[in-house]
């Protein structure tokens, strides 16, 4: 069993991805090959890439104000405590809509093949 | 895409499991067959069953004070913001150690075969 706090997990800047940082909180380095739990921070004005994958995403928003952009381009507001399920192959992105300086932060869980 | 809040997810009492309630926040009813995200509330003095499974658990503690009991019976304190990875087939339980009336609440993510 492994117990961790976010503050102790290395963070990676995702260059070219709109001021996003990623932390792999539980993943292959912990021998968790089947499911990977990541933590993203998106700077104000930034967003995750608008694309799809052949795997699902399970998201929980932790901090901030944001929107999920759906396949039709519509924005769905999300905030702390919202859970989002994005099925395989559905295009979407997560955008920080805060007008101030607050990050949008969320947990994003994917199958092992989604991280690597 | 599905957006949900915890308050709108039905809760099930797990009789005989130490005053635990479970909510399937994202799961088969949402067509999420590969990964399932559950939310547990354990009453003071209660604990999850001390057992193992042939699948991993990824846990994030949300509220309360608790301990994870490891295969040797040792208690590891956990609280809000702690992430716990329990590999396949490792015996463990989550116990509410709060001396007052606060629930221990945590997210627990498992593969689809772990929920059904």
- Please indicate whether residue B18 or residue A67 has the higher confidence score (pLDDT): A67
Complex prediction ipTM: 0.93
Residues of B in contact with A6 (CB under 8 A): 81, 83
* Model confidence pTM above 0.90: yes
Cα angle, residue B38 at apex, residues B21 and B12 outer, rounded to 5°: 30
pLDDT in tens, A9-43: 999 998 766 689 999 999 999 999 999 999 999 99
3-state SS class at A63:
strand
Q: Which of A93, A109, A82 is closest to A18 using CA atoms?
A: A93
A21 secondary structure, DSSP code: E
Mean pLDDT of chain A: 93
On whether any CB of chain A is under 8 Å from the CB of B19, the answer is no
Give Cα B84 to chain centroid, integer Å: 10
On whether any CB of chain A is under 8 Å from the CB of B3, the answer is yes
Residues of A in contact with B78 (CB under 8 A): 3
What are the angstrom distances between the C-alpha of B38 and each of A58, A102, B12, B62, B98?
Answer: 11, 28, 11, 12, 22
Strand partners, A106: A40, A61
On whether any CB of chain A is under 8 Å from the CB of B16, the answer is no
* Burial class (CB within 10 angstroms; exposed 0-12, middle 13-18, buried 19+) of A3: middle
């Amino acid at each position: 069993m492994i117990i961790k706090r976010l503050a102790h997990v290395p963070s990676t800047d995702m260059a070219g991805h709109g001021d996003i940082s990623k932390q792999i909180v539980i993943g292959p380095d912990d021998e968790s090959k089947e499911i990977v739990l990541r933590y993203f921070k998106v700077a104000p004005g930034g967003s995750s890439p608008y694309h799809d994958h052949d795997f699902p995403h399970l998201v929980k928003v932790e901090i901030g104000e944001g929107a999920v952009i759906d396949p039709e381009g519509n924005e769905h507001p999300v905030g702390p405590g919202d859970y989002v399920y994005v099925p395989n192959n559905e295009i979407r992105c997560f955008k920080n809509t805060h007008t101030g300086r607050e990050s949008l932060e969320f947990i994003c869980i994917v199958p092992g093949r989604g991280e690597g």
